[in-house]
Structure 1
Amino acid sequence: MLWFYEWFFPAVWIVFLLYWQIKAVNTKSTQRLEPASSRLFRVFIFLIAIVLLMTTRIPLPWLYFQLWPTGLLPFWLGAIVMIAGLLFAVWAREHLGSNWSRSVTIKQNHELITTGPYGVVRHPIYTGILTGFLGSAIALSQVRGFIAFFLVFIALWLKLRMEEKWMRTEFGETYATYARHTAALVPYVL
């Protein structure tokens, strides 16, 4: 049964990433695309975060400092938080439909979506992914999990900032009004 606890989180992330790849087809044509340098930087940050979560071979002992005892409670609490976050991201991805892109883009006939999960936060996919990383960190119970979470937060925050500028340019006052009434990542907070 130990294998279940070792492979549960990687398996869920792999299923999520496979879903993401499958859903990447059938989106609208791109009109404007962010520079390759920002996309590559984000990929690099995500890779560092994944390595932090997956390996115990980094020669920095403080990364493995236990923040609280491991056990069933942090495992299942982390699992629930991760799955809830990833399901929220999936809901947002489905709701966004053909307007979705893995990079910051403006699509042909781009639509501003403000319903469903986009009525809760402006960037629900980022919220869901961050929540997934938070759940992984809770279950891991070590400093490295929260460093991974923080790195992903930085990468998505930078992406969010660029996306916000582009949406304000594309949708003007309509987007500004939406932004005034809907939090970016955490309802009523951020």
Structure 2
Amino acid sequence: MDDAFSLVIPLLWLAWVIYWLALARGNKDNSRKEPIASRLGHIVPLAIGGYLLFSDAVPNWLLRSPIFPGNWVTDSIGLACVVVGLGFTVWAREHLGRNWSGTVTVKVGHELVRSGPYGLVRHPIYTGLLLAFIGSAVARDEWRAVVALVIIFGALWRKFRLEEKWMSEQFGADYDNYRQEVPALVPQYRRSS
């Protein structure tokens, strides 16, 4: 990852974190919230994955070896994935409005949002994050990025499954229909009839 991308990508993530934290207030009250022990089940792996991906202090020489010769093409692809991925999460966050939470929750008066990015995938924030992490890994171009992606995917998959369970319990048949009509993470081409 050349100097421009080693600065640009972390700055994009920093701007995203600041935005995310700024909008964390003013949401609907919780009627059900994931316990802290359960949250740590995805927070700790995400932190480990983030450390592996972004820290320059990873000591293992094998994990720091390059995967392929980095060049402006791979750096540009990585940067584009980060921009599109983080942008997709912002669009989803804005569309969720006061129903959003950083943890798995059911809100008082929780609404099943099916429009905007939620008409493309059921979990657009996870989709965007995964795309942004993949882009960061491509730009990082070291084996530790692959290990980080596996850990991050596992953490988000765990959180995704819990959220699916809770939404199904909350919305019943409406959520089951939504699951049949809209893919979970990867948008699919739908032919019009």
Task: Give the equivalent residue in structure 2 for 1:24.
Answer: 24
Task: Give the equivalent residue in structure 1 for 2:50.
Answer: 50
Cα distance in 2 for partners of 1:149, 1:65 equals 16
Task: Give the equivalent residue in structure 1 for 2:84.
Answer: 84
C-alpha deviation, 1:26, in angstroms: 1.0
Task: Give the equivalent residue in structure 1 for 2:180.
Answer: 180
Q: Deviations over 1:59-100 (max 9, x none)?
A: 322212211111211111100011101000100000000000
Q: Tell me whether 41-50 or 72-81 shows the greater mean CA deviation.
A: 41-50
Q: Deviations over 1:154-176 (max 9, x none)?
A: 11111111111111111000100
Task: Give the equivalent residue in structure 1 for 2:153.
Answer: 153
Cα distance in 2 for partners of 1:110, 1:17 equals 24
Cα distance in 2 for partners of 1:146, 1:182 equals 28
Alignment of 1:143 with 2:143, yes or no, is yes
Paired residue type of 1:95? H
SS at 2:187 equivalent: coil
C-alpha deviation, 1:57, in angstroms: 3.0
SS at 1:61 equivalent: coil
Q: Tell me whether 52-61 or 172-181 shows the greater mean CA deviation.
A: 52-61
Q: Deviations over 1:92-124 (max 9, x none)?
A: 000000000000000000000011100000000
Cα distance in 2 for partners of 1:81, 1:58 equals 24
SS at 1:106 equivalent: strand
C-alpha deviation, 1:28, in angstroms: 0.2
Q: Tell me whether 56-65 or 131-140 shows the greater mean CA deviation.
A: 56-65
Q: Tell me whether 124-133 or 142-151 shows the greater mean CA deviation.
A: 142-151
Q: Tell me whether 8-17 or 33-42 shows the greater mean CA deviation.
A: 33-42
C-alpha deviation, 1:149, in angstroms: 1.7
CA contact (8 A) 2:5 2:79 kept: no
Task: Give the equivalent residue in structure 1 for 2:5.
Answer: 5
Cα distance in 1 for partners of 2:102, 2:57 equals 31
Tell me how large the CA RMSD over aligned residues is: 1.4
C-alpha deviation, 1:148, in angstroms: 1.4
Give matches, 1:58-69, under 5 Å.
58-69=58-69
Instruction: Give unpaired runs (5+ residues) of structure 2.
Output: none
Q: Tell me whether 139-148 or 100-109 shows the greater mean CA deviation.
A: 139-148
Paired residue type of 1:68? F
Q: Tell me whether 157-166 or 146-155 shows the greater mean CA deviation.
A: 146-155
Please state which structure has a larger fraction of its residues in helix.
Answer: 1
Paired residue type of 2:150? F
SS at 2:63 equivalent: helix
C-alpha deviation, 1:3, in angstroms: 4.3
SS at 2:167 equivalent: helix
- TM-score, L = length of structure 2: 0.93
Cα distance in 2 for partners of 1:188, 1:38 equals 31
